[in-house]
Homo-oligomer: A and B are copies of this chain.
Amino acid sequence: MTTEENVQYLKQFATEIQTQLEWLSGFGADPAGGVTRLLYSDSWMQAQLALSEVMEASGLTAYFDDAGNLFGRLEGEELGEGCILTGSHIDTVRSGGKYDGAYGVAAGIAALSFLLANYGQPKRSLEVVSFAEEEGSRFPLTYWGSGNVTGRFQTAEPPLDIRDAQGISLQEAMHSAGFGAGTHRPSKRTDIQAFIELHIEQGAVLEREEQAVGIVGGIVGQRRFTFMVMGEANHAGTTPMAWRRDALAGAAEMIALIEEKASALKEPMVATVGQLEVSPNIPNVIPGTVQFTLDVRHADEIVLASFCEEIGSRLQAIADTRGLKLSGSEWMNAQPVPMHPELMEKLTNICEARGLSSRAMFSGAGHDAQIMQPVCKTAMLFVPSRHGISHSPLEYTAPESLSAGVAVLIDLLYDLAYS
């Protein structure tokens, strides 16, 4: 392409993707500008059905699997060569934005449509997926969509006792939406050779560093804990400072230490105390108990484990010094997931060839890519999020960023499926 053609080509995608994301946000739109599409809800179902029509209109063969994952397929010339998959999810958090997940689906459809129109049938089959569920917003469960594709979950045996806020079980909701074992194609796949997920960054690193594209080296491991600090509730007026066993003063020292230790380590180490409850929580009573959560993330399992261990013993030391009791429990331990070096290298070369600035980075958030990684070569690509805002009606990515991402995705898919 000439430079002029390239500019036109990118403009076309910018408009196309933006228009499609606006249109898709109509499914589950709330008056405040947010989008709520929960797994197997009416708005979710309508969005999936509408997308299947878009896929068909783009020349793809659309189909659902038993879990409700929607695929658009472009059959390859070479039989038995497996399949190159791209896509993301269309379920949202409550009152989320228009870009998280949806961008990867819309971009995938646009990319396959462009490849078909310009290069005809691929050698290897290409598919775009709109995963049924990633956010865990309706049920206390995440990655139901990609988890069924990889065999982590099975529609025939959904986890029991998983219910939404209304008491409806995952199984009931799945059946109500017309899905479940035997209703469509089996979810479990063994033919996928590569999965490429294009996603908004959900952070402000690319924006601040003015990089067009982020090439994800891995998804950080996450550990989550709940700590309970137990002191003694007492009268705020009649208990001298020296005799107090103030659970909140103790927790404050712990939170300060966590922040200090995490800040002292290099990126991508992050540690967050996001939730905290005080009891009895009355202005004139010394806090007797404080419960708080700790969320720690790093791309290196050894660094992550040693940080958590050190924090645990340092918090215990603070509690001991203050005559407080401390108990901690770990309720999440997700290992770091590295992306495929070969695909990362291809992405780096593509960006260079296109004159797009890029940087290697870790994903601090979880994505379907981490579920797909054990079964196929997996890569992730980020585009900037304005002000790093995500999971909010304020979520926004500029049109030129949307099109840059699609252009890089097209080049990689071409490399994998046509060459």
Which A residues fall within an 8 A CB radius of B? Answer: 201-205, 208, 220, 222, 224, 234-243, 246, 248-249, 251-253, 255-256, 259, 262-263, 267-278, 281-287, 293, 295, 297, 363-366, 388, 390-391
Given A248-B276, A273-B248, A275-B281, A297 and B256 contact (CB-CB distance below 8 Å) = no
* CB–CB A239/B274 < 8 A: no
Given A248-B255, A255-B252, A272 and B238 contact (CB-CB distance below 8 Å) = no
* CB–CB B278/A275 < 8 A: yes
CA distance A224 to B285 in the complex (A): 12
Of B237, B270, B271, the residue contacting A365 (CB under 8 A) is: B237
* CB–CB A208/B243 < 8 A: yes
Can you name 21 A-B pairs with beta carbons within 8 Å?
A: A203-B235, A203-B238, A203-B240, A235-B365, A235-B391, A236-B270, A236-B364, A237-B366, A238-B390, A241-B263, A242-B263, A248-B276, A249-B255, A249-B273, A252-B273, A253-B256, A274-B283, A274-B284, A275-B278, A276-B278, A284-B295
Residues of chain B lying within 8 A (CB to CB) of residue A249: 255-256, 259, 273
Of B253, B269, B274, B390, the residue contacting A286 (CB under 8 A) is: B274
Q: Which 7 A-B pairs have the closest CB atoms?
A: A203-B238, A237-B364, A252-B255, A236-B272, A283-B293, A252-B252, A238-B364
CA distance A293 to B297 in the complex (A): 32
Residues of chain B lying within 8 A (CB to CB) of residue A364: 235-239
* CB–CB A259/B274 < 8 A: no
* CB–CB B205/A240 < 8 A: yes
Residue of B nearest to A284 (CB): B295
Of B202, B235, B242, B251, the residue contacting A238 (CB under 8 A) is: B202
Residues of chain B lying within 8 A (CB to CB) of residue A276: 248, 276, 278, 281, 287
Residues of chain B lying within 8 A (CB to CB) of residue A363: 237-238
* CB–CB A241/B255 < 8 A: no
Residue of B nearest to A201 (CB): B238
Residues of chain B lying within 8 A (CB to CB) of residue A208: 243
CA distance A246 to B277 in the complex (A): 17
Residues of chain B lying within 8 A (CB to CB) of residue A293: 283
* CB–CB A239/B281 < 8 A: no
CA distance A282 to B238 in the complex (A): 34
CA distance A272 to B237 in the complex (A): 9
Given A252-B255, A364-B237, A388-B234, A282 and B274 contact (CB-CB distance below 8 Å) = yes
Residue of B nearest to A293 (CB): B283
Of B222, B240, B286, the residue contacting A237 (CB under 8 A) is: B222
